[in-house]
Every structure is written in structure tokens, then in C-alpha cells.
Structure 1
């Protein structure tokens, strides 16, 4: 007798359901896509306990007749395909005919539906192994499906679900994507009888971006209108400027023919368009909508229908890259005029200023001169002997001594102090430039110019200024010596490229990464205060408001106690809006707290099977990393000495919490060997 036998229907249904229905999110996705296919303009989703106790999806779509109700729950029953050829011309999101049968196999389900214009509708109740019951009742046009007790008959699957807040967040994230991708449909989400979001009266993508990401994002939106980049191939995009980014790809949204898609190839194409505009580890926020011929795509790869294959992807890739780059370039031309103040780049003209003398004439014992400050383009200062024009601002210089005033004096007289940035003045001082312009009264003698520099290589002032900017060496190094653990008699030299602290002792040169240094200090400080429960919070003068997506909100709710233990005080402030009122002592108050919180939540979302202990450790790690001083940040002498003195008090002064080194030592012996000076002897 053979050992192979046919499985019974219930066992086969449970196995098949395992591929289609992985968690409550899968149920919501299948039901919402059915509602979209039915032409709905209103889709309301209600969940309880993260979708385990209840998932209800109500729409005003086309509805179903009585005969279709029972047929809809048969496996491989669908209204969207008739034969294999229809797979090459799909216009619907669903087509496999597996979703309702799979949901019914792992839950208790009721569905009520009525055709528009009908005086009544029908209701069907299903439980695995029982006979379907169909009843007639009064109903309006559309469909209402209620899924209860998900995985009640598969305890192992229910056991591996995460916390209800996390499952709710996944559902909220999916519906947010569909709400952004289908602005013609009103989406409403209710969780545990509380309205999470409702897109009523929001009929444009821009309005919905503002609703989900915050009103301050509106000036950051760059719209690429629907364009036909190839015959019967269309592209539409909503990009956020490079000033807005995330630390993962969660906010890179892609739709192909109205379907939410996950595609690494599309991610790479979008990020290539932002190339050089975003830092390492940062990702754009964007919505990309593609319309492609049905015979060029294959959705029938996985039952979840999230993956897709595009037959000829190269033209699609190049179109995305080209239009993203062009849109960002066009927006960059005038962006500073429209950006909110906090997003405007704080640029500084690093070119040293000098005096340009124009239109000099002589009047008896004094001379009237007109001067203007502008960036130096060359190392020469030109003089013109043309008559003074009335339109040129002139200044009378009393007791003119034939020597043109030095640059600092001209700045003081002719420019407002706010225009002379401290950085520019310090660069000019480091260059130690003096300019003398001997002016003789004789018209026959041509004006001359002389540069006096202390450089042995006769560098130009601009070259000297650039060098001074890269290495900020202390003019008078502090006499106080300090130690870090077993490294003694250290003295501070200065800062290299605004990223590294330089120190020395008789043994050699020490290069210290300022970010990893500060990160280690903050990490041990936060960890100690949490363990000893001596948290100190610093109140903000002005609270910071943060708008969260549903998934971010669920993550925040999940870890709100741990955040409070670290010193964050965060309060609810309306629908998916929160106020940061206080931060842990030690974090700089002028840092971007909104970006800090969003990055923290994104990192926590990515964690698998997180426990309270792991959650707290991750929060400490991430808060220390995000709160530490970054590379390319100027530090004062006091800042550097404070950091180094505090590093001596930590337990591990060698690496940051992520394992990156803090110190790098170049010994005197190594330096002697490099410069071929023989052996080093103290």
C-alpha cells in the first residue's frame, strides 16, 4: 500500500492560508485591495488588539449579489480573471482568488454586502468546518467584512505575533501608503475605538503628505507631474527635498499600476537620483507612482503580491534617475527663498574679504575715497583714477597719510558687525595679512600695492586662510596638562578639520575622534543614571512638536516608559502629534530633536523580538549616538578640554558603544622612522 495520500480539505486550507495570511496586516491588505478593486471612494478599517480580536473593513464599493457571497469564499474563485491570458493584462490588485478562503480558514468571518440600488443585502457567516449561513437583511450599497479571533485555530501562529501596538502600527503604515497613493479614496482607520486618522476632504497628495508628515513639510515637496517617459509608460513623483531624510528606506514609497510594491531595484534608482545630496546612511522621503503595460510586469511571484518583476527595467530606472535629478536641480535654484527658516542652509562665504578701492581723486590736503567690501578674486587690489561719481558712496578720511587703512579698520568703518561673521574674521587673523597701498599725490606715479606676509613660502592670503581653516591650532595652547586613563601628561594642540581633536605628550601624537569620544561619555552617563534611577531631565524653553505616522506612533507608545526613564518627556498633542517637553541632561538643546526622535523610532521599528531590557539598551545606544557632537562641528578650547577630562572618568575609554576606536596614537618612534631621522631617544 502506498504512503502518499491526499490531505483533507481543512488541513490543506490551513497550509495554504499560512502563505497568504502571515499576520493581521495580511488580512487588512487583502480586504482593502478588494475594496479598491470594487471602485470604493470610502474605505474604513477598524481593528481591536492589533487586529487579533477584530478586523472590520467597510466600503461603499459595487457590492455583491447573493450568489457571489458563497462563491467568493471558494479557493481560486475570482471575478478578475477568466483564463491564463488575462494575467498579461491585469487591471486589478487582486486576482489569485485565495484571500477570502485563506482568511476564513484561520478566523471567524462575517460579510455583509449589497448592490447599489438594491432594497436589501445579504450576510454570510463562516467558521472553518461549519456550513455557511446566508441571511437577508437591510443594507446600503457596499461591503462590510468582519474578521474575528484571527488564528484561533493555529495557536503557534498567534504566539509569534508581536505586541498589539506593533501590529497596529504595521496596519497603520500600510493604510498610510494607500492613502498617499490613492488620494481619490477617503481612508479612515480606527484602533480600539479611537480614530487614528481620517483623510476626509483631502483630495490631493500634497494635502495628505501635510497630514501624515506635518504641515512644515509642504514647502519641502517637489512634485513631478505625470509624464509619459516612454510610449504607454507614465511616471509621477512627489519628492521631499534633501533637507528631509530618514535613516532607513521605510519612507520610500512605490506604486505600480496602483499597487504598493517593495523593490530594491526601485530603491536604488531613487537613491541614485539623490546621489551626493544625502549623507551616508540617510535615505530620501518620496512617493513614486508608475503606470506600465500589463504585459511588461509579473505580479504572480508570491501570494502576498508585494514583489514584482519588470521585463525591461532599464528605461524605468533611467527615467526615475533623470526626473529626480532634474526636479531636485530645478528646486535648488530658488529653494532658499521658500524653505522654512530651520531648513535653510547656514552657508558661510569662506573667502577672505579685502578692500577694493575705486574712484580716488585728490582734494587739497584730504582725499575722498569710495570703498566697497567684496570677496577677493585675485591677490591684487586695483585702483582707478577716474573721477568720483555721485552714485558711489564716499567717505572722507581725515589727515590722509598716503597709506591705505588696513583691512580690519575698513571692515569696522564700512560694514555692519552682523555682516562680518566671526569665522571670517578668525580666518583673516590666522592668515596674518596686512595690505599697504602707498598713494602718491603725483598723478604721474602709478598706484602701487604691497602684500606683507609672515609666510616663508609667500602664500597668498586666501591660501593661508584655507590652511588656517582646516587645522585650528591654538595660538596659546593651554598650559594645563591632563590624562586619559593610563595616558598622562597630555596637552591640547587643537582641532583637525572640525572632526578630530589633536593632543600630544612626550610619547607622540594622539588623534581623537570627537564623535566617538562624546558618544562614549553620553552612553555611560545615560546607562549609569538609568541603573541608579537618578534621571535628570532638562525642560525645553519651547517644546518641539513632532508629527508621527501611525507606525511611528505605535512604536512610541510601545517604548514611552523607557524613553521617560532616559529623561525624555513626551506628551500627546492632538492626532498623531506629540510635544517633546524635556530631554536628558547632557544632550545639546540646540540639536534637531525632531530628527533625533524620528531616527530613534526608526531604529526601534527595525528590531526583531525586542524585550524591555534590549529596548532600553538600544535606546541608550541610539540616544548617545544621535546626541553626540558630530564630525564637521567646531569645538572651542573649553569644549575639547571638557570632553577629554570627562573621558578619563568613563570605564571604557578606548571605543564607542558600537566598537569604533576613540584614540589613534602615532608614536615619536614612528614619526622618526617616517622622516628617516634614525632612532628616537627620550
Structure 2
């Protein structure tokens, strides 16, 4: 049998390696920015066009490279970060595999300009599909500039798997933010299609978080800090009231490297137990510094998953540190059984002299004394108690009792009223009380609430089961409707009709609603602004991190606006349900999912009937917008079979 095993050509091997390292434009952004950080840059600029599909350019003022190093940097497994296998356990840099530039050059058009600081001229290299087409001496600025154009130009199948520009840009921004948050001492800029998205000057960790996610973020942050022999922990967590329904700002950094760790995430969530509502996610920015020898980051090509030697200790430290911070800043309730709250001295009484309290005792008070007379005037009470205390002069007894704290002789005030009460009732002897039967018949006759049933069949045609299903009858049996899915279908077709006809009803607000979110979320709402206006949202201002809303749809309450926009942004970031749908369709689905009446909500009879009628007036009443059945039918024959 002939030999069948052979070595792969270099260009094929590079494309296979590129499939592991470069999955989308965001992967290229991550590798290039991390290389710029490793080069010691203090200013890094990211330029992106068409969400990175057309151009990704990273410009830095780092150390730069010589002409020889520039050429070798595109070879596989060529790196300046490690020299031996032992160096893998003492890593202090972002990259070390030596695969990034070779993988990127194999699937794109790459052009590099680089120059050492002490050199007068630099080098320029152009590579297309892994082959160097041009290398020459060039006049360029200090540092390195790498431009990656036409990503996946020679692998059209991979390019077709890329999602829309909105989603790909979201991933690019995520990678940019992760590196920027880990290195607040570096100035970062980001541009997309000529627009300035981020300008982050060098600052501290807190200011970097505020610069990225908006000024309102500052008041949400609770600092966390703990130093042990195992880990040095610092960073911030969001206050419990700022927990969101969607996974928002959640960042772990280990030795200034962004990681994903479900185990440590569980530690954070458990620290918030009892403080946040169900299905809410806390936000956090946590920085862990550990001994590099105790972690292994070489277990995944993207280096976002790492392995700790002692995860259980990190879990306990992280959980207790967050709990301590929430209690220290009075975010979490604290029980102190040794402290008596009555001993706290108000600030106003701090410098005032202390007065000894005095006690007044009525020596004549006897709760068992029988009243000597039962009068119906105030004078009888006076003669009874006038000599009791020896004070009061001619003051009536009820005033003395009020002053001295005695029980007043209030029963004497009602003496003699019994006869008058009996005589007064005679005046009401002719009043007739209208019975419920008469009132009910009159209401039925007026036709305002109910119609009187003509037979033995009850007038109620719908019934809510377990606050989730609506049961109604039909000629052949009965229909059981899922109220949440049914309302989704009704709202979905309603929103589609409004956006298509562009005749959404808007309810103008007396006081505009001002919301704050990150600049990337504002950029997303810029694209959705026109479509949102067609269904009733009037957005007056979209600048920086501020959103001003002056009108909302008639079916939406003011308290739901922030929830709706938060869910809408989260759906479009993750491209729910799929990129093959139009923006209008995706927006209608997202809004219908958020505004539909949930399972567990009680509906009155009128609402039940209206939902049933609206559902069967839809074009597709059988399924929800997400292709789930909205109702099932049970015939009389099916019921008869159950009793056989």
C-alpha cells in the first residue's frame, strides 16, 4: 500500500491555524492591540471600517521593529516573548504563541509600517494571502502601524459566516474595551467609518470605567479590595439596585488579562444572594493579581480561559471580599446584636447639657373608686374630682384630667341620650333599602356590564387557568391558549403594521425621560431611531451617554421604557433571533417579547375575551413570532375517550 500521510503545505497549515486564532474581525483587533501593549505603547489608535470586514488598522507609538524582525514576525511560531518552555509559567505579556500575525496574513491583505525610535527610517511590508509581495525601506513614524484589509478574501465560506455589521462591531468594541479596561495608563482611541467612538485618556481604573460606560456609572460603583498571600483583589461591583436583566458589564482580569471564568462568576453571584431580584445579573470590574506560576493560560488559542492551581481559595476570597464591601459601604443590611440603637446620640444634642428626668406621681389616683354620681353635665364631674388633687380652682374636671393625665369622665357625656336615639329612629321608619336583586336587574337591563343569560348556559365564555392559560369553548370542544405567546403574536403583527404603514400612535410626555447608557449602546440606538419613531417612540436627543425620550407608544407605561430599551439593546447585540431577518422584523419581535403579558399575571374577563378575539384576528394565529404554538384544541371526542 502506498504511503498516504504527507506534510501540509504552509499556506494550508496557516489557514487551518487562522481558523483557531481568527474567527471574526474582533479576533484580529484583539491580537493587534495586545501586540501594541506588549510593545510598550502609551498611545494606541484603532481604525475600523465596515465593522472590520474592510479595514482594521492599529497604530501605536511602541518600540517598533527592525526590518529583519518585521519580516520574521509573520513566520509561524516566531515570537520575542519566550525562549524556553519554562517561560510559559512566568508570562508577563499578552501574546506568546507566535501565531497571530502569520494567521492574519494568511487570510487577508496586510500592510505594516514600523520603525525603531533611534532609527531614521523604517520598513514597509505588504503581504497577500500569506505571501510577501513587497518589502522596502520607508519613512514612517516611531512605532508600528498594521492595516488588515479584506478579511477572509480567500476563504469566502468563512466570510459568509460573519454576521451583520452591527453584531461584528459589537464584538470589536467588546475586545477594545477589555484591553482598555486592563490598561488605564494607556491612551486609547477608536474610530469606525470615520466616526470617533472612544477617546480614552490615560487615567486610573475608576475613571477608565466611567469614560467607557458613561458618567452615571460612577455613582453605581462600590470599590472592592483585598490582599492575601494567594491573590491581590481590587476593582468595583455595581450596587444591587443596578443589577440588570441581561448580562451587561461583567469583567474579570487576571494579571491584566481578560478572562472568562464561570466558577468565579458564581462566587460573585453568591455574594449578591438575597440582594438582587431573580434572574438579575450583577455588574463587576474585578482585577486579580496572582503568581504567574499558579495559573495556566496556555489552554485555549484565544487565551481567555485559564486554569488556576487553587480555585476554591480564590472562590472563598472573592465571595467574602465582595460581601465585606457591600456591608462596609452600607449596601447590604448588617445585623449587629451587640449595639443598642437607643444609645445613639443625635448630632443636635451632642453639645447640649444633660437634664435629669423628673417623675410626677398622682397619689390620689385609684382605678377601683366608684363614681359617686352619674350626672349629664360637666358640673357633676367637677364636684366629684374638684377636691381630689387640691389644685385647679374652678377648672372643669375634664380639663384637670387632661392636664393631670387622669382618665376623663367621658361616660357622663352620653347620659340621657338613649331616649333621644329611640325617638330619632322613628324618622327613618319609612326608608326602604334597595335589595341587590333590584339593582342587579336594573344594571342588566341597562346593558352596561352584563347581558342576562337566556338559558342554563353560563354567560362566561373564557376562563384563566393557573394564571397562564386561557380556556374558551368552541363548537367542537375547547381551546387552551398560552396567554404570553398569544399576546406576543398580537403585538408582533401590530408593531409590524405600524412600522410598515409608519403610523404609530405616540403619547407625548409632560416631563421627558432621560436615560444613560454606554456610547456603544447610543450608537446602536442611532441606527434604530427612525424605526422606533414609527411605533411611537419620540427620541429627542442621542448624544454621548444620554438619551432623551419625549414620547412613547400608547400601550407602554413610563416605568417600562428603560426595561424595553435595555432588552432591545441586548437583543440587537446578540442578534436575536437571526441575522437573516430584517431590522424591522427583529425590532418587532424584541418589543413583542418584552411587552407581552407574562405568565402569572391575572387577566379579568374582558381582557381574556379581548386577547382571544385579537389572536384569531391575526394573520398567523397558530404560532408565536418565535414559531412556538400559541394554542391547542381539545375536542369533545377527545374528552369522551378519557372516560372510557
1:6-405 equivalences under 5 Å are: 6-128=7-129, 130-131=131-132, 133-200=134-201, 203-225=203-225, 227-228=226-227, 230-332=228-330
Please report how far the alpha carbon of residue 16 of structure 1 lies from its aligned counterpart in structure 2 after TM superposition. 1.4
Show the counterpart of 1:591.
Answer: 559
Are the counterparts in 2 of residues 122 and 136 from structure 1 also a CA contact under 8 Å? yes
Please report how far the alpha carbon of residue 596 of structure 1 lies from its aligned counterpart in structure 2 after TM superposition. 2.3
Show the counterpart of 2:418.
Answer: none
Residue 217 and residue 283 in structure 1: after superposition, are their counterparts in 2 closer, same or farther (change >3 A)?
A: same
Partners of 2:629 and 2:274 in 1: CA distance = 25
Partners of 2:625 and 2:297 in 1: CA distance = 43
Partners of 1:193 and 1:553 in 2: CA distance = 17
Per the alignment, in what secondary structure is the counterpart of residue 626 of structure 1?
helix
Q: Deviations over 1:202-239 (max 9, x none)?
A: 512322333333322222210113x32x3152111211
Partners of 1:257 and 1:83 in 2: CA distance = 21
Partners of 1:100 and 1:604 in 2: CA distance = 31
Unaligned runs of 5+ in 1: 336-357, 367-386, 388-395, 404-436, 443-475, 504-511, 663-682
Are the counterparts in 1 of residues 24 and 162 from structure 2 also a CA contact under 8 Å? yes
What TM-score comes out, normalization by structure 2 length?
Answer: 0.71
Per the alignment, in what secondary structure is the counterpart of residue 542 of structure 1?
strand
Please report how far the alpha carbon of residue 110 of structure 1 lies from its aligned counterpart in structure 2 after TM superposition. 1.4
Per the alignment, in what secondary structure is the counterpart of residue 246 of structure 1?
coil
Partners of 2:17 and 2:320 in 1: CA distance = 43
Q: Deviations over 1:332-356 (max 9, x none)?
A: 3599xxxxxxxxxxxxxxxxxxxxx
Partners of 1:492 and 1:330 in 2: CA distance = 54
Q: Deviations over 1:526-570 (max 9, x none)?
A: 455456654212233333344444553454355445433433233
Partners of 2:52 and 2:61 in 1: CA distance = 22
Please report how far the alpha carbon of residue 74 of structure 1 lies from its aligned counterpart in structure 2 after TM superposition. 0.8
Partners of 1:207 and 1:532 in 2: CA distance = 46
Pair 1:651 & 2:615 matched: yes
Are the counterparts in 1 of residues 239 and 331 from structure 2 also a CA contact under 8 Å? no
Please report how far the alpha carbon of residue 283 of structure 1 lies from its aligned counterpart in structure 2 after TM superposition. 0.6
Are the counterparts in 2 of residues 110 and 126 from structure 1 also a CA contact under 8 Å? yes
Are the counterparts in 2 of residues 522 and 586 from structure 1 also a CA contact under 8 Å? no
Show the counterpart of 1:665.
Answer: none
Please report how far the alpha carbon of residue 273 of structure 1 lies from its aligned counterpart in structure 2 after TM superposition. 1.4
Please report how far the alpha carbon of residue 584 of structure 1 lies from its aligned counterpart in structure 2 after TM superposition. 1.7
Residue 630 and residue 561 in structure 1: after superposition, are their counterparts in 2 closer, same or farther (change >3 A)?
A: same
Q: Could you say which structure has the larger radius of gyration? A: 2
Show the counterpart of 2:637.
Answer: none
Q: Identify the range of structure 1 (74-83 vs 177-186) with the bigger mean alpha-carbon deviation.
A: 177-186
Residue 239 and residue 592 in structure 1: after superposition, are their counterparts in 2 closer, same or farther (change >3 A)?
A: farther
Show the counterpart of 2:407.
Answer: 439
Pair 1:566 & 2:571 matched: no
Partners of 1:28 and 1:2 in 2: CA distance = 42
Please report how far the alpha carbon of residue 655 of structure 1 lies from its aligned counterpart in structure 2 after TM superposition. 11
Per the alignment, in what secondary structure is the counterpart of residue 559 of structure 2?
coil
Show the counterpart of 1:540.
Answer: 509
Per the alignment, in what secondary structure is the counterpart of residue 87 of structure 1?
helix
1:424-503 equivalences under 5 Å are: 439-440=407-408, 481=449, 489=459
Are the counterparts in 2 of residues 482 and 645 from structure 1 also a CA contact under 8 Å? no
What TM-score comes out, normalization by structure 1 length?
Answer: 0.67
Q: Identify the range of structure 1 (97-106 vs 213-222) with the bigger mean alpha-carbon deviation.
A: 213-222
Please report how far the alpha carbon of residue 44 of structure 1 lies from its aligned counterpart in structure 2 after TM superposition. 0.6
Are the counterparts in 2 of residues 224 and 323 from structure 1 also a CA contact under 8 Å? yes
| RMSD across aligned positions (CA) | 4.5
Residue 519 and residue 158 in structure 1: after superposition, are their counterparts in 2 closer, same or farther (change >3 A)?
A: closer
- Aligned pairs, number: 527
Partners of 1:620 and 1:315 in 2: CA distance = 47
Show the counterpart of 1:413.
Answer: none
Please report how far the alpha carbon of residue 502 of structure 1 lies from its aligned counterpart in structure 2 after TM superposition. 13
Are the counterparts in 2 of residues 40 and 61 from structure 1 also a CA contact under 8 Å? yes
Unaligned runs of 5+ in 2: 334-358, 365-376, 380-388, 390-394, 411-438, 452-456, 472-480, 632-644
